[in-house]
């Protein structure tokens, strides 16, 4: 299996980096196995088949965050090799987002006792990292078949963090990860107004590669409707102080429409930004496939006035024919 091992020197300038390291494939105890050789992408030493995402096709994958420390730096993720759903394997966007959460948790509103929800959680890496740092996380995905795998990943990492905590003399927690956080895995379809409202609003909304586009198959009309459904859900799960944190890699031109729609009701959560802020922030991690083209976006809801005490309709939802208010 391949592991993302931290690699940084003063020359990094504060940016997290990683090496890809090969460790023997064993049962879950492999998590403590020592690296036996280093693979630098492009040097021809790789013999492990890779998925279309560029992530090696290994059932278990160990992810070590260059930004992390102590218990919240090493994670184990089970993948579903050959799975039909996009969420059955790790994507570079999720690894980048996990790394950035480790480096900027407080900036993203992820602190002990905070609440977060991940959309399109897939295997659960991002949610697991956020919970290790103390957040109470709801990990959601529309694909019901992937939820058992995500739940197994939550339990596996809980055990790993408990072991790490006992070795460092720290106390573990009962409901989730070692930082007194938790992960609740649930199914959620974008555009399901009732389900989103039942979940309430969160301090942080997380998502990686949510607008992976196949415009040649789905078509622009259906794709735009899916964007509206996603944005409707984001709006209902947020409040005016919620931080929306997304990582994204452009693949299809139609995906730019999502950010045009996002900009209508959300604004960048970065001081001094302009209309070009939708382009996001580059956050490459050495050794992580495709990460050089993964962008980070942080947004907050635009403030909206109320007339005569009325609560205005929630944006985006009306385009779906849904009757929803804030």
Q: What are 137-156's pLDDT values in tens digits? A: 999 999 999 999 999 999 99
Residue 200 makes CB contacts below 8 A (sequence gap 6+) with 237
- The pLDDT of residue 206 is above 90: yes
Taking a C-beta distance cutoff of 8 angstroms, is the pair 101, 110 a contact?
Answer: yes
Point out the least confidently predicted range of 83-97, 119-133, 161-175. Answer: 161-175
Q: How big is the chain, counted in residues?
A: 326
Q: What are 244-265's pLDDT values in tens digits? A: 999 998 888 888 889 999 998 9
What integer is the mean pLDDT of 197-210?
96
Cα 304 from chain centroid (whole Å): 28
Whole-number pLDDT of residue 30: 38
Beta pairing class for 60-64 and 136-141? unpaired
Percent of the chain at pLDDT above 70? 65
Residue 61 makes CB contacts below 8 A (sequence gap 6+) with 1, 2, 3, 55, 76, 77, 78, 79, 90
- The pLDDT of residue 110 is above 90: yes
Taking a C-beta distance cutoff of 8 angstroms, is the pair 7, 66 a contact?
Answer: yes
What integer is the mean pLDDT of 153-161?
90
CA-based nearest residue to 20, from 209, 247, 291, 295: 291
pLDDT higher for 141 or 81?
141
Q: What are 119-128's pLDDT values in tens digits? A: 999 999 999 9
Whole-number pLDDT of residue 44: 36
Q: What are 266-314's pLDDT values in tens digits? A: 988 765 444 445 578 887 877 676 788 899 999 999 876 554 445 566 7
CA-based nearest residue to 79, from 103, 109, 56: 56
Residue 225, burial from CB neighbour count under 10 angstroms (0-12, 13-18, 19+): middle
Point out the least confidently predicted range of 178-187, 217-226, 231-240. Answer: 217-226
In whole angstroms, give the CA distance from residue 136 to residue 116: 6
Task: State the average pLDDT for the chain.
Answer: 75
* DSSP type of residue 286: T
* Residue 150 in tokens: 């995500």
Residue 271 makes CB contacts below 8 A (sequence gap 6+) with none
- The pLDDT of residue 186 is above 90: yes
């Amino acid at each position: 299996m391949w592991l993302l091992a931290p690699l940084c020197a003063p020359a990094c300038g504060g940016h997290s980096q990683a090496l890809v390291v090969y460790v023997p494939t064993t049962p879950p105890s492999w998590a403590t196995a020592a690296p036996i050789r280093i693979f630098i992408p492009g040097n021809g030493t790789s013999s492990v088949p890779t998925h279309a995402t560029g992530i090696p096709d290994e059932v278990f994958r160990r992810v070590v965050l260059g930004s992390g420390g102590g218990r919240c730096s090493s994670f184990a993720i089970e993948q579903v090799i050959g799975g039909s759903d996009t969420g059955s394997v790790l994507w570079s966007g999720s690894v980048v987002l996990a790394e950035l959460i480790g480096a900027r948790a407080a900036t993203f509103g992820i602190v002990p006792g905070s609440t977060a929800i991940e959309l399109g959680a897939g295997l659960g890496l991002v949610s697991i990292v956020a919970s290790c740092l103390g957040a109470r996380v709801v990990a959601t995905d529309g694909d019901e078949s992937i939820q058992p795998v995500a739940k197994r990943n939550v339990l596996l990492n809980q055990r790993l963090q408990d072991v790490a905590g006992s070795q460092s003399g720290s106390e573990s927690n009962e409901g989730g990860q070692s930082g007194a956080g938790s992960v609740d895995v649930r199914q959620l379809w974008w555009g399901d107004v009732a389900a989103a409202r039942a979940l309430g609003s969160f301090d942080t909304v997380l998502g990686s590669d949510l607008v992976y586009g196949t415009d040649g198959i789905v078509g622009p009309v259906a794709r735009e409707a899916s964007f509206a459904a996603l944005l409707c859900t984001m709006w209902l799960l947020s409040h005016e102080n919620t931080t929306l944190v997304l990582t994204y890699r452009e693949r299809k031109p139609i995906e730019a429409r999502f950010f045009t729609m996002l900009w209508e009701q959300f604004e960048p959560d970065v001081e001094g930004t302009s209309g070009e802020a939708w382009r996001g922030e580059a956050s490459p991690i050495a050794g992580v496939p495709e990460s050089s083209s993964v962008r980070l976006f942080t947004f907050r809801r635009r403030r909206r006035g109320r007339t005569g005490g009325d609560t205005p309709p929630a944006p985006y939802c009306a385009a779906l024919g849904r009757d929803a208010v804030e």
